[in-house]
Amino acid sequence: MLSVGVLAAAGIGHAVIAGLDESIPRVDPFKDMKNRPAAGHGMNLLLVGTDGREKISAEDRRAYHLGGTACHCTDTIMIVHLSADRDRATVVSLPRDSYAEVPEHADPTTGARREARPLRLNAAYAEGGPNLTVRTVESMTHLKIDHYLEVDFVSFMKTVDVLGGVRICTTQPLKDSYTGLDLAAGSHLLGGGQALQYVRSRHVDGASDLGRMQRQQRFLASLFDRATSSGVLLNPMKFRDVTGAVLGSVRADRGLGTDELLRLGRAMRNFSPRSSEFTTVPIGEMTFQVKGLGSTVKWDEAKARELFRALRDDKPIAPRRPTRKGPSAVSVDVPPDQIRVQVENGTTTDGLGKRMDDGLAATGFRTTRQPTAATDHPVPHTVVLYDPRWDRSAKALAAALPGSELRAAPGQGPTLKVIAGPDFKEVRRVKAAEPPKPQESEQTVLTGDEAVCR
């Protein structure tokens, strides 16, 4: 669906869009809904990711750790708000284990009435499909949902593969035995299967589902960046060939048709990662115990009300920042001012070691300010030598030197050594990352230009 909007923004013809639109399976999530919240300004789309693993081949299920039976529930729930002037997108993640009170409803299979009662938010889909999911979200947020889009594992993987992969960056290794995710620190171009592992993983840090939602937000920002800069979307015939299969495996409401997609696409021509902002609904209690349900996630009601009021009033949730000169700083685990570095020039280029030393010092690293000539030069590329006991510091230094190679040197001690190679161009700005604080209700907002790899 995102791809269709981008195609429209590129000026591709109505006939191509209409042909693809006809292949989208439709649902009616707003059927017989009454007493809905008043419409605000802008447009609210409810984006849900469903399990759907039964549609994946046995080979891919084994490769990407998708065993077991499908839960027929929503694995991911996001509200996407597009501003009235279409110059901003705000994405709010709703934890799937959120404490929710589903309204009275009819069983979609038997028609029997079910009373309102507490459930986890993701169970609303299993019990009442898209209709109950929309009703529950509207009841919790007091936002009117204008459109509904449902993506399953298959359509997600196909979309990523169609775009030629999506690049993500990580300052620390990500390994999750449950999903099979295994990424070293650095930059990675993920195909559909690996991307699915990345957005599903919950066991790579102590932040559990909150950490996973933050990775999903970063991935969505990178996906948008990839889609808007990918040449494949500007070729009408290629787009039609590769996107037909993708749109065949998403579900959307009937109102999200050709004309609406064209309007959105044309209005969003000048969208960039900086035009988007991402957050998670403020959390009050991570382990709110409910009889018969167990542990749930309880929202901070006052802060959540404030967040959703901002969306209703069509206001940005992140303060507008002045345009930076140069790229954003990369987050690292160890502050640069705690890292001591000795620079060596591994080339025959005079002054290269001093240039690297000056750049690292300006970024905050504690360099010796006395770069030396390497004993083994010339070297083919930049190398960071480190004692394994200071591996986190080494990764922070390598993040400031894109393309550098990390090489363990047991017994070297706390001072890192970097040998400047002919590939050295400049030092990238880095800053210490804040550790995850899942128990706090403080809301954090990430803008798209802070999320994508640069």
Determine if residue 391 is left, alpha or beta; phi over 0 gives left, psi from -120 to 50 gives alpha, anything else beta.
Answer: alpha
Cα–Cα dist 2/265, whole Å: 9
Instruction: Judge whether 384 and 365 are in contact, CB under 8 Å.
Output: no
CATH fold of 2-324+438-451: Aminopeptidase (3.40.630)
pLDDT tens readout for residues 362-374: 999 999 999 998 8
pLDDT at 90 over 80: yes
Give the pLDDT score at 267: 57
Which run of H or of E encompasses 299? strand 294-299
pLDDT at 452 over 80: no
Domain ranges of the chain: 2-324+438-451, 334-432
pLDDT at 165 over 70: yes
Most confidently predicted of 154-168, 211-225, 325-339, 413-427: 413-427
Of residues 47 and 223, more confidence is placed in 47
> 92: closest CA among 318, 419, 386?
318
In 93-207, alpha helices (H): 123-141, 153-162, 192-200
Give the pLDDT score at 88: 85
Give the pLDDT score at 353: 93
Query: What value does the mean pLDDT take over residues 356-363?
Result: 93
Cα–Cα dist 378/34, whole Å: 74
Give the pLDDT score at 318: 77
What is the rounded (10 degree) CA torsion for 362, 364, 367, 369?
30
Classify burial at 302, counting beta carbons within 10 Å of its beta carbon; exposed 0-12, middle 13-18, buried 19 or more: exposed
- What is this structure's pTM? 0.68
- Say which DSSP state 390 is in: G
Give the pLDDT score at 275: 77
Instruction: Judge whether 155 and 249 are in contact, CB under 8 Å.
Output: yes
Instruction: Judge whether 20 and 243 are in contact, CB under 8 Å.
Output: yes
How many Cβ atoms are within 10 Å of 380's Cβ, its own excluded?
Answer: 11
pLDDT band per the 50, 70, 90 thresholds, residue 53: low
Cα–Cα dist 118/360, whole Å: 54
Query: Which token pair is 21?
Result: 């639109």
